Chain A
Amino acid sequence: AQSVSQHNHHVILSEAASLELGCNYSYGGTVNLFWYVQYPGQHLQLLLKYFSGDPLVKGIKGFEAEFIKSKFSFNLRKPSVQWSDTAEYFCAVNAQRSSSGSARQLTFGSGTQLTVLP
């Protein structure tokens, strides 16, 4: 079964600092990768996604992520964080099954709480 690891459970940064949140997955086949964000008291929203092509994906609000297949990683980055980026960030993976035909679902990591100090 596929799994997703987010090793940073809580990250605290000052405004303008650079951000990198780690995400590793365990699956050897074709994957689709997502980062979702959950602002305090709100529902999850999609930040960015990778399906194929350029491994460097740009999302909303200045976020980007790089898919490194050899490292099974999809780390999220932002060069300069703002106080409004305080939220919980979830990495998710959707792995393609073989010919079984059974539907696949997103597997989420445990989340990283980002706190940005003003």
Chain B
Amino acid sequence: EAQVTQNPRYLITVTGKKLTVTCSQNMNHEYMSWYRQDPGLGLRQIYYSMNVEVTDKGDVPEGYKVSRKEKRNFPLILESPSPNQTSLYFCASSYGTSGNPWASSYNEQFFGPGTRLTVL
């Protein structure tokens, strides 16, 4: 089954304790992205990746890191989580068009089930 998976689905942690949220897709998609969803703000993009070893900042990258060492995986890293990072996080992927950044984000994005993170 084609899907985007995220782990963990729920996480409660404390301020400053490094954590990683994993994202994996089995559709051979080039483009992957992380969003956070907050009430009244919709989804805001944190980081995205056009392909392996190619990442860039979205609208709200502060306090987050990502890496793209393999095509299928795009982990989100919080080096020192703070309470304002309490949110619902979604990973998404889509087909890309090599060398055409516009077309890559033009395609339908498939979303993971979400990770609800609470930072105390």
Contact residues of A with B, CB < 8 Å? 4, 6, 9, 32, 34, 42-46, 49, 51, 90, 92, 94, 96-97, 101-111
Contacts and interface: CB of A to CB of B under 8 A. Distances in A.
A51 B113 contact: no
Given A94-B105, A103-B50, A107-B45, 16 more contacts: A6-B42, A9-B40, A43-B113, A45-B111, A46-B108, A90-B43, A92-B43, A96-B102, A97-B102, A103-B101, A104-B105, A106-B105, A106-B109, A108-B35, A108-B42, A110-B40
B48 to A, nearest CB: 6
A111 to B, nearest CB: 5
A90 B90 CA distance: 14
Interface string B20-51: 00000000000001010000111111001010
B75 interface: no
A110 B41 contact: yes
A4 B43 CA distance: 11
Contacts, number: 62
A32 B106 contact: yes
A56 B35 CA distance: 29
A90 B40 contact: no
Contacts of A49: 108
B81 interface: no
A78 to B, nearest CB: 20
25 contacts: A6-B42, A9-B40, A32-B106, A34-B108, A42-B113, A43-B114, A44-B43, A44-B90, A44-B92, A44-B111, A45-B111, A46-B108, A49-B108, A90-B42, A90-B43, A92-B43, A94-B105, A102-B101, A104-B101, A105-B33, A105-B59, A106-B105, A107-B45, A108-B43, A110-B42
A22 to B, nearest CB: 14
Contacts of B102: 96-97, 103-104
A61 B96 CA distance: 27
Contacts of B108: 34, 46, 49
